[in-house]
Amino acid sequence: MNRTLTLSDLLAHPQNGGLRIITGEPGISLPEAFVESAEDRLPWNNLGDLAVLTIAPPSDAWQQDALIRRVRDRGFGALALLDADRFGVGTRVLAGRLGLALLHVDRPMELAQAWWQLREGRDSLMLSYVRKAARSFEYRAEGVSDMIGHLAANLGHGIALVSREGVLAQSGGILSAGLLSEIDFAPWLDTARSAHGCVASVRVDSAGRSGLRLAVFGQGFGEVQLGALAMAAEVMMPAVAARILIDEVAEVNDASVSAGLLGDFLEKRSAPDLDLERRMLDRGWGIGGYHLGFRMVGRTRIDALQLLRELKRYLSGLSADWQAVTLGEGIAGWLNFPAPLRQNDLEAQVAALKAMHVEVRRSFNIATGIGTPDSGPTGLAETINGASEAARIATQRSATGWFVRMDALGIEQLLLSWTENDTFVPAARSLLAPLRESNAELVPTLGSYLDHESSISATAAALGLHRNTVAARVSRIQELLGLDLSDAETRLALRLACRAVAG
């Protein structure tokens, strides 16, 4: 191979001996490299080559100036040597005026080897990358992200697992959106360079997930290095694909266990089950404190596991602890808080969940429901079931963007949500909460009053109370609820709510 290298090519090599520019531009050409112990051993030439000296420079400024002049007089365009960062300002200015790039290097022989690999030994460079990648697999990886971290650390370059939608995992650097856009997802191997950097990528041959690529990226790669990295990426890809498959199997198993556990918990919410709660705690689920449940269901057939992956990206950016699992044809989850939320904080959390819903709907045809805030293990079941009911209503509510919040439902919506099952309970509890908080006797009084066709006398007889007591309670109920009990639909809704709570 006969190709002129540039200084930037050497700077991009992961094993360049600790090369740093003191003066000069990274774009200068370095046709050849010569390694000697002293400048008088360097040949005479006019090609602007790289001179690498293995001894430290003199300490006196006039001697440093003399060294710079002698190397430049021999026709070299760049000088790399130990302790070049000790050169004084005057010497650096002189080097710049003479057109000599002054470079510091910690390990001169390693720099020479890097130059040779880039200039003459492409196969050697590629094999070097492959050996480093192979060493990465000696370390136990907890997942694909961990494996990519090992690869990046050993290769000395950024590595990312990407799709057209974005970066799924990366280490050793940040793959910019601009450089990601330069990747061609069609061919098996692809290399690209732009103002954003350089990248070599290979299609990931995964049966579980399509459209993925393994990319190695950085700045200033020459053609030789970029080509070697592309081949190294091809060698690394099967191990990464296998790790993805292992992770997917584990993810499916974990999702199945989580769904079963949550399903059992929701079924037994009225009777505390300490074993269930212990298993939930073992999985790191927050079941104490205060909760806000949410539920996403598909309006058409969806991949619930893929939806869960997408949700986790957004949930990780929230300011609350969270949990989400696949459940039926969708996702059930909750936010967990150590203390009750103030109204403003609650509104902010609901707004964040709605923003997540809007973003996810770009890829999934879903409806989302938000439950009523509640506390403790029993409250967790209530808020999730309330969210499930709200989600069911949301599937028919295009006017609200397929998003419904249970505690924002009015009387009419409560009637529409009644389906003769206990998912109505959270909404009923929320509606009757002012009565329960004021006086424990008000809810049964209201239920009896409505069951007896709004008759004060009949209610008093049924409850064994004086009619004046019942009349006072009914007046208090209307005041607390702010509802007109003479309205037929209002009475029906309240009667259903009382029965749901009593049940």
Burial of residue 115, with CB atoms counted within 10 A of its CB: 0-12 exposed, 13-18 middle, 19 or more buried: buried
Tell me if 402 is assigned to some domain.
yes
Residues 184, 222: one domain?
yes
> Looking at residues 218-223, what average pLDDT do you find?
81
Res 432 pLDDT > 60: yes
Residues 287, 225: one domain?
no
Tell me if 419 is assigned to some domain.
no
> Looking at residues 189-215, what average pLDDT do you find?
86
CATH number of the domain to which 498 belongs: 1.10.10.2840
CATH number of the domain to which 281 belongs: 3.30.70
CATH number of the domain to which 139 belongs: 3.30.450.40
Domain around 143: 122-246
Residues 293, 363: one domain?
yes
The domain boundary residue, chosen from 75, 100, 119: 119
> Looking at residues 140-149, what average pLDDT do you find?
86
Give the pTM: 0.51
Burial of residue 176, with CB atoms counted within 10 A of its CB: 0-12 exposed, 13-18 middle, 19 or more buried: middle
Tell me if 423 is assigned to some domain.
no
Sign of CA dihedral 455, 457, 461, 464: positive
Tell me if 479 is assigned to some domain.
yes
The domain boundary residue, chosen from 82, 102, 119: 119
Residues 280, 401: one domain?
yes
> Looking at residues 155-172, what average pLDDT do you find?
91
pLDDT in tens, 7-50: 888 888 888 889 999 998 888 888 888 888 888 888 887 688 88
The domain boundary residue, chosen from 380, 408, 436: 408
pLDDT in tens, 227-265: 888 888 888 888 888 888 888 888 888 888 888 989 888
| Bigger pLDDT: 428 vs 101 | 101
Confidence of residue 407 (pLDDT cuts 50, 70, 90): confident
Number of domains in the chain: 4
User: CA nearest 329: which of 366, 362, 354?
Assistant: 366
Tell me if 30 is assigned to some domain.
yes
Cβ(28)–Cβ(78) under 8 Å?
yes
Confidence of residue 410 (pLDDT cuts 50, 70, 90): low
Residues 131, 112: one domain?
no
Residues 279, 393: one domain?
yes
Cβ(389)–Cβ(370) under 8 Å?
no
The amino acid at 175: L
Confidence of residue 270 (pLDDT cuts 50, 70, 90): low
Residues 222, 310: one domain?
no
Which spans in 120-222 are helix H? Answer: 122-136, 144-155, 177-180
Residues 471, 354: one domain?
no
Confidence of residue 120 (pLDDT cuts 50, 70, 90): low
CATH number of the domain to which 44 belongs: 3.40.1390.20
Tell me if 417 is assigned to some domain.
no
Residues 133, 232: one domain?
yes
Residues 135, 52: one domain?
no
Tell me if 401 is assigned to some domain.
yes
Residues 109, 135: one domain?
no
Residues 26, 108: one domain?
yes
Tell me if 374 is assigned to some domain.
yes
Task: Give the model's pLDDT for residue 184.
Answer: 92
CA gap 458, 8 in Å, rounded: 94
